Amino acid sequence: MANLNQSQFVYGVLTCAVLLVGRWFFQTLAQRKKGYKLPPQVPGVPIFGNTFQIPALQQGPWAKKLAEKYGEMFTCKFGGSTWVFLNSSRVVTDLMERRAAIYSSRPPFPMTQGIMSRDSRIVLMPYGDQWRTVRKMMHQILSARALDVFMPFQDLESKNLCWDYLETPDRWWSANGRYANSVIMSVVFGRRSSLDDPHVVELFETLELFLENQQPGVNLVDAFPVLAKLPKPLQWWRPRGNRIFEKTARVYRREVELLEEKIKKGTAKRCFGTDFLEGDEVKNMTEVQKLFVFGTLMEAGSDTSRVTIGQIIAGAVTSPDWVARAREALDAVCGRNAERLPEFSDRPRLEYISAVVKEGFRWRPNIAEIGAPTMLIKDDEYEGYKFPAGTVFTWNAWAIALDPAEYAEPERFWPDRFLDGDQENALKGHWAFGPGRRVCVGWKVGEMNVWIAIARLLYCFDFSAVPGKPIDTMTIPQLTKNSAPFHVRVTPRSAAHAALVRRDCEAAVKTKY
Ligand code: HEM
């Protein structure tokens, strides 16, 4: 705004007002005329709707309360967009899964996707050819068939994780971040990351900037995309968006340039990045699109596993009864006296650990508390309602995960609920990876990251509350500027377990590439 003179500013405000009122008027008129009918509307204010009611962070508890009041569906208006919250697995399955062909696009985000990401961030791309091309590329590296590529890195990095928990237990959160980041960096760039690596710290910062800006109501232009029609000099949000884009692109570019240099010198380790940069697909992409393929993999691959491992640790501290059962299973396979670490090949005998991981995804869905919005691309009818094309839908993750009609004792961390024969199907029984065609493309890699890390950590370490600092599991913050979201005391289970970590994990720490 500093660059605008007074008359430009007044002109801008008046134009905004005309655009907003005009849009509101025509939208309301058109909806009445065509007989659209939406689920109960949460009362709000004219034009802005519920924009000022939704909290900037921790929206899950807010949306859960509304679900308790309104039932399986309710409608909110965030600026110019109409959102329908789906509050039961039944309606999510009916609409976002069974009718995925028309429920899988994204609404426009002129700030976070347009300016901050130059339309290149897959997670916000509309359903179309560009999304399909990038999704296919990602699927090639992240699909079940590619898991043999990930497994050796997950093995090595989770040994490094155990070492970090033993040697620097107070930095357990940074250790989670390093672990998850190093797995994806090894596969994508052929290099490892170290604890508190400044590159990793900056990567998490850029991710937080994106997540902060993505919350409904934070950017007026994302709530009212019609404002993007203002002449560029009047778009007061643009300079800030450009600065975030520059920072993000710099963080991504640094890794790509490092790899390109190694390729030139002939010292690059073969990895996704070398194949991608030397392949044909990249020739049809712009520089920015290329950067965002790399950047998305780094960001999405790091934060999600870091958070989920943290959630399971919070579950171990606050309801330790299940830890005893997990230990029984682990001890039966790996020995009662720290004989050896759990391995991927133990999975058939460690079904309880698979159930623990699923419960970790369900228990407090912190990664997407109110789901991720998708946009309907064609008018649709469902159980007496008529939705106009352009309506935004989301699965109300927090409300569903904590609904006693969906799960017995939903607030309790209770892995046994998933010992139902489907414990190895990581997508079934919860919505942590999203529904339908936009389901997380990295779900299998993410699940395996968490599985091997949790199996080893539970076998080797005890987790307890720090005196005077209990964990409130209902308000674990999502954005923490790289500091731990809660306090926990990490200690080895016994001297024998500490010795096992020293013996079996030191080589992993010393491995360099
Ligand atoms: C560890 C646990 C993980 C969780 C809980 C998780 C969760 C999610 C969620 C909720 C979405 C949005 C789904 C939707 O819009 O319906 C998503 C999308 C995505 N995830 Fe994950 N994720 C995880 C791991 C990963 C990993 C390891 C990667 C890649 C290395 C990854 C890459 C992506 C990408 C690229 C998308 C966008 C997909 C699209 O829009 O088509 N995720 N994830």
pLDDT band for position 159 (50/70/90)? very high
CB distance 190 to 513 below 8 Å: yes
Look at the pTM and tell me if it is higher than 0.90. yes
Shortest-distance Cα residue to atom 19 of ligand 1: 440
> Is 25's pLDDT higher than 70?
no
What dihedral angle (degrees, nearest 10) is formed by the CA atoms of 142, 143, 145, 149?
10
For residues 320-327, give the mean pLDDT.
97
> Is 191's pLDDT higher than 70?
yes
Q: Pick the range with the lowest mean pLDDT from 157-166, 185-194, 474-483.
A: 474-483
Residue 421: closest CA among 354, 495, 365, 488:
354
Quote the CA–CA distance of 342 and 331 in Å, as a whole number.
9
- Decide: 368 in ligand 1 pocket, CB within 6 A: yes
Q: Which two tokens stand for residue 174?
A: 């940074």
Contacts of 167 (CB under 8 A, 6+ apart): none
> Is 17's pLDDT higher than 90?
no
- Positive or negative: CA dihedral 306, 403, 71, 64: negative
Quote the CA–CA distance of 59 and 209 in Å, as a whole number.
17
> Is 468's pLDDT higher than 80?
yes
Shortest-distance Cα residue to atom 3 of ligand 1: 304
- Decide: 241 in ligand 1 pocket, CB within 6 A: no
- Single-letter residue type at 376: L
Atom of ligand 1 nearest to the CA of 434: 16
Q: Is 460 annotated as a binding residue?
A: no
User: Residues 388-419: pLDDT tens digits?
Assistant: 999 999 999 999 999 999 999 999 999 999 99
Neighbours of 382 (CB within 10 A): 14
For residues 279-294, give the mean pLDDT.
92
Q: Which helix (H) or strand (E) holds 56?
A: none
Atom of ligand 1 nearest to the CA of 141: 30
Q: Where are the alpha helices (DSSP H) in 347-492?
A: 351-363, 397-401, 443-460
> Is 20's pLDDT higher than 70?
no
What dihedral angle (degrees, nearest 10) is formed by the CA atoms of 242, 245, 246, 250?
180
User: Residues 57-107: pLDDT tens digits?
Assistant: 889 999 999 999 999 999 999 999 999 999 999 999 999 999 999 999 999
How much is the mean pLDDT over the chain? 93
Model pLDDT, residue 216: 82
- Decide: 308 in ligand 1 pocket, CB within 6 A: yes
Atom of ligand 1 nearest to the CA of 368: 10
Q: Which stretches of 305-464 are assigned E, i.e. beta strand? A: 374-375, 380-382, 385-387, 392-395, 461-464
CB distance 84 to 74 below 8 Å: yes
Model pLDDT, residue 215: 86
Mutate to test the pocket of ligand 1, among 433, 447, 451 (most ligand atoms within 8 A of CB): 433
Q: Which two tokens stand for residue 415?
A: 């892995």
Q: Pick the range with the lowest mean pLDDT from 50-54, 153-157, 372-376, 457-461.
A: 50-54
Model pLDDT, residue 480: 85
- Positive or negative: CA dihedral 290, 291, 292, 296: positive
Neighbours of 363 (CB within 10 A): 26
- Give 37 Cα–ligand 1 centroid separation in angstroms: 32
Mutate to test the pocket of ligand 1, among 440, 444, 454 (most ligand atoms within 8 A of CB): 440
Quote the CA–CA distance of 262 and 275 in Å, as a whole number.
13
Q: Which segment, 16-25, 37-46, 215-224, is predicted with the most confidence on average?
A: 37-46
- Decide: 184 in ligand 1 pocket, CB within 6 A: yes
- Decide: 103 in ligand 1 pocket, CB within 6 A: no
For residues 28-54, give the mean pLDDT.
88
Contacts of 49 (CB under 8 A, 6+ apart): 76, 77, 78, 79
- Decide: 203 in ligand 1 pocket, CB within 6 A: no
- Decide: 372 in ligand 1 pocket, CB within 6 A: yes
CB distance 373 to 106 below 8 Å: yes
- Give 367 Cα–ligand 1 centroid separation in angstroms: 9
- Give 41 Cα–ligand 1 centroid separation in angstroms: 30
Give me the helix-helix angle, 443-460 and 495-510, nearest 10°: 140
Quote the CA–CA distance of 177 and 489 in Å, as a whole number.
18
The residues with which 73 forms a beta bridge, in sequence order, are 86
What dihedral angle (degrees, nearest 10) is formed by the CA atoms of 45, 46, 47, 50?
20
- Decide: 300 in ligand 1 pocket, CB within 6 A: yes
- Decide: 141 in ligand 1 pocket, CB within 6 A: no
Model pLDDT, residue 453: 98
Quote the CA–CA distance of 142 and 443 in Å, as a whole number.
8
Quote the CA–CA distance of 415 and 413 in Å, as a whole number.
6
> Is 4's pLDDT higher than 90?
no
Number of H helices and E strands in the chain, helices first, is: 16, 8
- Decide: 329 in ligand 1 pocket, CB within 6 A: no
Q: Which two tokens stand for residue 180?
A: 């998850």
The residues with which 136 forms a beta bridge, in sequence order, are none
> Is 22's pLDDT higher than 80?
no
Model pLDDT, residue 200: 87
- Decide: 441 in ligand 1 pocket, CB within 6 A: yes
> Is 33's pLDDT higher than 70?
no
> Is 30's pLDDT higher than 70?
no
Model pLDDT, residue 281: 86
Quote the CA–CA distance of 105 and 96 in Å, as a whole number.
11
Shortest-distance Cα residue to atom 25 of ligand 1: 442
CB distance 468 to 174 below 8 Å: no
- Give 441 Cα–ligand 1 centroid separation in angstroms: 6
pLDDT band for position 2 (50/70/90)? very low
How far from 441 is each of 160, 239, 396, 456, CA to CA, in Å?
26, 32, 20, 25
Model pLDDT, residue 481: 80
User: Residues 329-363: pLDDT tens digits?
Assistant: 999 999 999 999 999 999 999 999 999 999 999 99
Mutate to test the pocket of ligand 1, among 304, 359, 375, 444 (most ligand atoms within 8 A of CB): 304
- Give 301 Cα–ligand 1 centroid separation in angstroms: 8
Model pLDDT, residue 286: 94
> Is 1's pLDDT higher than 50?
no
User: Which of left, alpha, beta for 372 (phi over 0: left; psi -120 to 50: alpha)?
Assistant: beta
Shortest-distance Cα residue to atom 13 of ligand 1: 434
For residues 442-451, give the mean pLDDT.
96
Pick the residue with more confidence: 61 or 215?
61
Q: Pick the range with the lowest mean pLDDT from 19-23, 75-79, 449-453.
A: 19-23
